[in-house]
Every structure is written in structure tokens, then in C-alpha cells.
Chain A
Amino acid sequence: MAGPSIRIKPAGEPSKSTNISGEDSSHRLVAFLQSQSQNTLTRLYQKPSSCLSIFRLLRPLERQLVMNLLWLEMPVPASTMAAWVTREGKRPYHDALATLARLHILPQSPVKHALNPTFKSSMRQAITGGGSSGSFGVLSENDDKHPPPDIEALDAYALERWETILYYMVSSGTGQFPARPSQGVLYLLQRSRLMANVHGNTLQITSAGFQFLLHPPHEQLWELLLQYLQMAEERQMDLVEVLSFLLMLSTTELGKDYSMENLSATQKAMLEDLRDYGLIKQRTATSRRFSPTRLATTLTSSSPPLPTSTGTGNGSQAQGFIVLETNYRLYAYTDNPLQIAVLNLFVTLKSRFPNLVVGQITRESVKKALTNGITADQVISYLITHAHPQMRKNKPLLPVTVQDQIRLWELEKNRVKSQEGYLYTAFASQADYEYVLNYAKQLDVVLWENASRRCFFGSVEGHANIRGFIERRSAAGNA
């Protein structure tokens, strides 16, 4: 499958990313599910499609443990199970057990382990097929008048929707007024604190929003969807219905029309929102059928959720478009306004050609990004993810000088440390000054001193003591 390789973890140390010993963090959705009640989860596990999708989001060792237990009728003694893992696997194994227990897939028990019966029967059904749950989506009848949309049209649609959202975010506050996404999307962006109401009714991107822009699309998508899930409860939508619909979408097939007949009222209401995000496409708003886009079908996989970015469309952008030289010069082979706008966050753009943008990474441009809340690592991982194929021949991929400099600029920002305290001045005599200063030094609260001006700066914690000391002394002097 062609397309940009989307990394879930930020790039950087390749040794880390190849680590399979369960040290990768769990998927965001898994973390969200762990916070749900057992009741909710058990209802969710009634659908085979939900089980299959959740299973795919688990870490490799967790998946294997589930598979080992899936076909057993009897509970397995904990000691037998512990013998399955090698010595190096001990810690990941216990982590995996803990995660599965929190998901209520494998209830915690000191003696014997058996899968949650609901999960077990649904998962078996998912793998062997059959049953009558219809949870994998009902295809709509073939209709000669309205053939299902072709994959290219779906991709273009998804991309257009998604980029509208991102482009709206990135260009907010710059004086440009690009196409506005729908009201629902705007509300979601505001709720997720990616954008905030600054003055009056203009939405402005927040520092979380800037960070969001540099994330890979897959992560962005889940970030919004999780926010959507949290919102669902407030909107009196049943969380289980919402979740199982999303998970069902992830098992559907690209380029097929699905029928709305089996959907509940909540799920029908969701269609409108998902249409705004670009997850599904409907011919008209009142259509009885919908087709999932690539954004939806790749929810539980790590293959790229978005097709080749628009623009020249010759596929070169799928492989990245950024060339970065050791002299901090950056060439981006793109004419996509979104990509240019994102680059503009941390690059001073110099000139623009029909298919090429040339810019320079400067101290000012990086500092601007840093003040927006973007970290140096995020900049670097964005550059790595979108590096041009030509760059991939280099080892290391990005010039070390540039990487280091970006990190140094970040450190520079952290150069000044602020600490609250009090300045003591106007001592009557040098002896007075030294006497108080000595006392303060004994308390270890002096942050700065200047003998010639007879003043010193003490931290907040020491203030009460020093003040008491001075007062006692002046009282004694007066007496």
C-alpha cells in the first residue's frame, strides 16, 4: 500500500521504536477504555466487531495471550500461564495482564485465569464468522442508479474534509479566512482546547493546537474522536453505541456502500458528525446509505489514514516532501496550502514556486514555534516523518547540526529561571547588612547578594524568619 509511513511514536531513536517488549505505550483508545466501567465494557464486548477492533489495538503480547486463552474452555492456573513467557518476558507479561484486567478482558485472579465470557464468545464469533449480530455492517443493495463511489472520490473527499479542519486551525489569527468547517467541528475543536475563544467570537489556535498540527494524522484523528466520545456522554448519547459504531466502521471495507437500516437512532445522529470529519461519505444528507472513507477503515491499523496529499498528485508527497540541508535551508516540494502553513509555524519561508517552497530554519522562526508551545522534538519528528525520499539515504536522516541547534534553541528558552522572593535594601550600616546577611545565609535562603549596594535577595520561604530577625534586632537596638 502506497502512502506515507505514519509513525505513532515520535521518531528519533530507532532502537526504541523497534522495541517490542511492551514498552510502547498503549493505544489512546485502550487508555480511554480502561477508565470505563465494567458494565459499559461488557456491553461493548457483545459485538464481535468491537471485540475484533479492540483486540487489534492491544499490544502484541496482550494479543497473543488473548489468543492463547481464547479457545480454552477451562480456566488456566496462573502458574501454567506464567510458564508461557521467557525470562525477559516477565515484566511485559505482568504489564499485559494488568492492562487486560483493567479492560475487563481477563479478570484479575491470583489462581486461575479465564477470559471474560462475553468477550470470549464475541471474539470467537468474530473469528469463525456466523451468528446474527450483523455487527460488521450491512451492505446496501446494489443500486444501478447510484453505484458506490470509487475509492479515489472517497479519498479526495476525506482529504478535503480533514485538511479543511487543519487549515482552519493553522490559519486562525493570521488574518486569512479559509473555508470554515461546520459548527459541530468548531465546537469539538473548542472543547478539546485545540482552539479557544480569544476576544469575542473569534476562535484562535492554542498551544495544544499547534502541537496537534505536528502530530501524524492517525494520532490527530484519535485525539478528536476521543474528545468526541467524551462529548457524547454530555449529549446524552449512549457511549457504547457511539463506540461500537466507530469500531464497526474500522472493520468496514473501502469503496462499499453500507445501509443505514440496522443503525440505532444514536448512530444515525452520529453520521452527520462523522460526515463533517470526513470519516464517511453520503451522497446527500438524507441518503439511506453511507460509505466509509479511508480515515474510517484504517482506524485500527497503522497504515496511512490519508491518501496522497492533494497538489501535484504524482505520488511523490506520499513519501515526504522536505529536504533539509546542513545550512538550515529547507526545500519543500509541495503546493498544498496546509503543508505550507504548517511549515510556516517553524520555518521562515523565503520564496515560493509552483511546486516548491524554499525557507530557512532560523533562531527567530524556531523561537516563534517554541513560544507557541511546540517542542523541539515535535519539530524534529515532523521533519523526519515528512522527509523526502532523497533524504532517507542520509544517515542520520536529518543533519545533526540542525537537530542539535533546534534543541539548543529550546534550551536557550529555558535559560532564565524565575523564583519568587524579597529584596532587602537600605540597611543603615555595613555591619547591619552583614549581620542580617549572615543570618539569612545560615537559613540558606540567599539567592543573590551585592555587598557594595548593601542589598540581597532572599527566597519566599525565608522571608518570615528574616523579617522577624530584623524586627527583633531593631527593637533591641531601640531599647
Chain B
Amino acid sequence: MDKPSHLSVILDLSPTQWALCAQSANPTGITLQTFLSQLLAFLNAHIACKDENTLAVFGAFPGQSGMLYSSTGEITSARTESTDANTYRPFRTLDSTLMTLIAERLESYDSTTEEAPIGLVGCLTKALCYINRAITTSSSSVTEIEGAVASVDPRILVLSVSPDQSSTYIPIMNSIFSAQKLKVTIDVCKIFGAENVFLQQAAHLTGGAYVQVERTDALLQYMMMSFLPPPAIRQLISVPTQDRVDFRAACFCHKRIVEIGFVCSVCLSIFCQPVPVCSTCRTKFPIKTLQRLRDARPLAAAAPPTKPLAPKNGTATPARPG
């Protein structure tokens, strides 16, 4: 029998980016309203697939993050929903809870002050914690009866509109590694804006799909075809993955995204320029090597440094954050 699957959705709800997205002409933008209505149809479709499917929605707001909905009923809207015989009740609860909470949260933002960076990492870690708890409780309780395979088939879907923040490189990489360990697939849907290097890597490393939406009017169809199939079905139905992955990493010293970096030979920290002492593990490097690396730097192509971080190509594994 097919297993139930768990989906955690992370919504990027940066007011500024959504405003930009709504005004954008090329590619045609999409307003937050339209996006949310299409999203709700997608979320309903996920619950519709199987009675046991579970869902959690997390919102990334400027400078904060929080859970907006969970099918285990941890978050409930204060507003009691009216009776409606035309809608399946779980759908109705989901829709009203989600919409009320998003509206409440977004209203509380002051449009005059400058927007804090988006709390995407917070969401990612919260989603992972949620999944971890779901897995451990289910494995200790009765649902485990059929053995380890019976546990939920978890995945995370990130719907992103904001650009990369290089300062979040380390926490994002850490999240990716935990996701790999938990066997969580991370899918990424980039609705607006340029390609997102870190999220691309997240999708690639966890075996998820990365979709850059080109036609926002068909957003629902994109989501249905790429993100609805649970990982088990993806053996049978092909899901778009990216053929070219940007493997660039951010350096630990200035949080810049670098093409060629210098890696500490002890702890694998990445730096954009040769340093005498590793800032992470305090290893001292010989002056001679340092000199050699400095000399080689401007002519990186002709004489590569001893330890360049191989960028761009699929062969390189990303550096482990310190």
C-alpha cells in the first residue's frame, strides 16, 4: 500500500519582495493574493490525496518565522468557522486558519522602517524539528508496526521570492545536512527573482526538485506536477531537477559568495583570501604557504592555488561548515 506522506511548506512572505513581484512585468508578476489562492488549492490537493497525509505550513517573515498551520492541530485560528456543507471540512479549516494568520502577521509590519532580512533559515530549522518530532513519535508508537518503512515520507517545499542572503550560508548548509540525515527531500520553487544559489544546492543535495517559475499564471500547474508527487512516486513520474547547479559557497570571513576560495586544511572553513590563522579552528598556517597562495591569487586560472574550492561543477562536494 502507498504510505502517507508529510509535507512542510515554507512560505517566503517578504512584503517588499511580493510588492516587487506584483509590479514586475517581465516575467509577468503575481500578486500575493493570487499566489495564496493557488497555494491553497495545492495544499488541499495534498490533503486530498490521502486521508493520512499530514501538512505543516511555516511562514518566513522579515526577521522572524513561525508556524502557520499544522494538520495535527497545534495552531488553530481563533475564529470558529461557520458550517458549510459545500466544502470538505479539513480544507475549510486549513484555508481559514492560514489566511487569517497570514493577514494578521502581515498587518503588523510597519511599512516605513527598513525591512529586516527574511527568516528563511528559522523556518527551515523549525520545519526540520517538526519533521524530526513526527518521525520519532511515530516510530516509538504504534504506527511503526510495519517496520521502519511505515514512517511518514517527509519533504519540505520552499516557495521563495527573496534573493540569497550570503550571511545565512552556514545555517542553510547545516539544515541541508540535517535534512539529508533525516532523509527529507527539499523541493524549491522560485516564484520571483534570480536563481537562488543556496536553495539550489539544498534541492540538489537532498534529491528534490528545483523549479524556476517562468509563467506565473500557470503556477498551480507547476506545483501540481512537480511538487505534489511524494518521493516514492517520483521513481515513476519524472520531476524537473536542474541540470546545472551553482555550487558556489559563501566565505566565512565576509559572507561573500566566492568562485575561488581558500579552504582550511583542518576544519574545511572557506575564506575568500588567504589568512594566517583559521578563524574557526585557530590553526596557524605556515608563512611560506601563505606567500605562495597570495602570489597565485591574481592568476588563479594559470596557476591554481593549492587548495581551491572547485566551483561550478557537480564533482565538488560543498565544504562542511565549521
Which residues of A are interface residues toward B (Cβ below 8 A)?
A: 1-5, 7-9, 14, 17-18, 20-22, 24, 48-49, 52, 55-56, 59-61, 63-64, 67-68, 70-72, 83-86, 88-89, 92-93, 125-139, 251, 253, 262, 298, 300-303, 318-320, 389, 392
In the complex with contacts A129-B91, A251-B88, A61-B48 CB distance below 8 A: no
A14 and B91 contact, Cβ closer than 8 Å, known pairs A68-B224, A136-B85: no
> In the bound complex, how far is the Cα of B44 from the Cα of A127, in angstroms?
6
Given A129-B95, A132-B86, are A86 and B237 neighbors across the interface (CB < 8 Å)?
yes
Further contacts, 13 of them, CB under 8 A, given A63-B49, A84-B238: A3-B142, A18-B149, A48-B86, A67-B49, A71-B220, A84-B237, A92-B236, A129-B91, A134-B85, A135-B86, A138-B85, A139-B83, A389-B142
Report the bound CA distance from A20 to B39 in whole Å. 27
Stretch of B176-184, B226-234, B249-257, B285-293 on the interface side? B226-234
Q: Establish whether residues A88 and B87, one from each chain, have CB atoms under 8 Å apart when the complex forms.
A: no
Residues of B within 8 A of A88 (CB): 235-236
Chain A to chain B contacts (Cβ below 8 Å), 26 pairs: A1-B143, A14-B149, A17-B146, A18-B149, A60-B49, A61-B237, A63-B49, A67-B228, A71-B224, A84-B237, A85-B236, A86-B235, A86-B238, A89-B237, A127-B41, A127-B91, A129-B95, A136-B87, A138-B85, A139-B83, A300-B51, A301-B50, A302-B1, A302-B52, A303-B51, A392-B144
Please give me the residue from chain A that is nearest to B235 by CB atom: A88
**B residues less than 8 Å from A64 (CB atoms):** 228-229, 233, 237
Q: How far is the CA of A61 from the CA of B234 in the complex (A)?
A: 10
**Shortest distance from the beta carbon of A225 to any chain B beta carbon, whole Å:** 17
| CB proximity of B247 to chain A, nearest CB, Å | 26
Asked whether B225 is an interface residue with its Cβ less than 8 Å from the other chain, the reply is yes
> In the complex, are the beta carbons of B233 and A20 less than 8 A apart?
yes
Among the listed B45, B86, B145, B230, which residue makes an inter-chain contact with A392, where contact means beta carbons less than 8 Å apart?
B145
Is A137's CB under 8 angstroms from B85's CB?
A: yes
Pairwise interchain contact A8-B149, C-beta atoms closer than 8 A: no
Q: Which of B201-235 contact A (CB under 8 A)?
A: 220-221, 224-225, 228-230, 232-233, 235
Do residues B85 and A60 form an inter-chain contact, with CB atoms below 8 A?
Answer: no
Pick from A71, A72, A135 the residue with the most CB of B within 10 Å: A71
**B36: shortest Cβ distance to chain A, in Å?**
13
Cβ of B126: which chain A residues have Cβ within 8 Å of it? none
- For B144, the chain A residues whose CB sits under 8 A away are 392
Q: Report chain B residues within 8 Å CB of A389.
A: 142
Q: For residue A382, give the distance in angstroms from its CB to the closest CB of chain B.
A: 14
- Closest-CB distance, A472 to chain B (whole angstroms): 65
* A318 interface neighbour in B85, B142, B146, Cβ under 8 Å: B142
Is the pair B51, A56 in contact by a Cβ cutoff of 8 Å?
Answer: yes
Nearest A-chain residue to B72, judged by Cβ: A1
Of chain B, the residue at the smallest CB distance from A24 is B1
State whether A61 touches B233 (Cβ < 8 A): yes
Contact of B221 among A4, A20, A72 (CB under 8 A): A72
Q: Is the CB of A21 within 8 A of B236?
A: yes
B residues contacting A by CB (< 8 A) are 1-2, 40-41, 44-45, 48-52, 83-89, 91-92, 95, 141-147, 149-150, 220-221, 224-225, 228-230, 232-233, 235-238
- Which partner residue on chain A sits nearest B83 by CB separation? A139
Contact A14 B48, beta carbon cutoff 8 Å: no
B146: which A residues are within 8 A, CB to CB? 5, 7, 14, 17
B142, closest chain A residue (CB): A319
Question: Bound state CA distance, A7 and B51, in angstroms?
Answer: 15
Q: A20-B2, A72-B221, A128-B44 are in contact. Are A139 and B85 (CB under 8 A)?
A: yes
What residue in chain B is nearest A133 (Cβ atoms)?
B86
Q: Taking the nearest CB of chain A, how far is it from the CB of B199, in angstroms?
A: 24
Contact A55 B224 (CB under 8 A): no
**A56 and B48 contact, CB distance less than 8 A:** yes
How long is the Cα–Cα vector from A139 to B86 in the complex, in angstroms? 11
- Chain B residue nearest to A123 (CB atoms) is B48
Q: How far is the CA of A303 from the CA of B229 in the complex (A)?
A: 21
Cβ contacts under 8 Å, A85 to chain B: 236-238
Cβ of B87 and Cβ of A70 under 8 Å apart? no
Report chain A residues within 8 Å CB of B45: 67, 70, 127
A71 to B228, CA, bound (A): 13
Least distance between B132 CB and chain A CB atoms (Å): 19
Bound CA span A92–B143, Å: 28
- Report Cα–Cα, A365/B47, bound state, in Å: 46
Contact of B1 among A8, A128, A320 (CB under 8 A): A8
Tell which of A60, A89, A129 touches B92, judged by Cβ atoms closer than 8 Å. Answer: A129
Residues of A with C-beta under 8 A to B230: 60
Q: Please indicate the chain A residues that have their CB under 8 angstroms from the CB of B147 in the complex.
A: 14
* Chain A residue contacts of B41, Cβ below 8 A: 71, 127-128
The CA-CA distance from A60 to B50 in the complex, in Å, is: 9
Tell me the minimal C-beta distance from B74 to chain A in angstroms: 15
- Give Cα A14 to B1, complex, Å: 11
Distance between Cα atoms of A358 and B59 in the complex (Å) = 55
B239 to chain A, nearest CB (A): 9
Residue numbers in A under 8 Å from B87 (CB-CB): 129-130, 136
Cα A135 to Cα B48 in complex, Å, equals 16
Closest to B2 in A: A60
> Which residues of chain B are near A253, meaning CB under 8 Å?
89
**Are B236 and A86 within 8 A (Cβ)?**
yes
Contact of A2 among B48, B141, B150 (CB under 8 A): B141
**Which residues of A are found within 8 Å of B92, using beta-carbon distances?**
129
How far is it, in angstroms, between the C-alpha of A7 and the C-alpha of B232 when the chains are bound? 19
Cα of A381 to Cα of B147 in the assembled complex, Å: 15
A61: B residues at CB distance < 8 A: 233, 236-237
Q: Please, how many angstroms separate the alpha-carbon atoms of A22 and B235 in the complex?
A: 12
Contact, CB under 8 Å: B149 / A136: no
Among B48, B84, B95, the one with the most A-chain Cβ atoms within 10 Å of its Cβ is B48
A298: chain B residues within 8 A (beta carbon): 51
The answer on a CB contact under 8 Å between A301 and B51 is yes
**Closest-CB distance, A83 to chain B (whole angstroms):** 8
| Closest chain A CB from B171 CB (angstroms) | 34
Q: Are A70 and B51 in touch, CB under 8 angstroms? A: no
Q: Tell me which residues across on chain B come within 8 A of A318, comparing CB atoms.
A: 142
Interface contact A60-B233, CB-CB below 8 Å: yes
Chain A residues within 8 Å of B238, by CB? 83-86
* Closest chain B residue, CB of each to CB of A91: B236
Which of chain A's residues have a CB closer than 8 A to the CB of B143?
1, 5
B220–chain A nearest beta-carbon distance, Å: 6
Residues of A within 8 A of B40 (CB): 128
A3 to B143, CA, bound (A): 8
- Taking A7-B146, A63-B49, A64-B237 as contacts, is the C-beta distance between A135 and B141 under 8 angstroms? no
Give Cα A301 to B220, complex, Å: 26
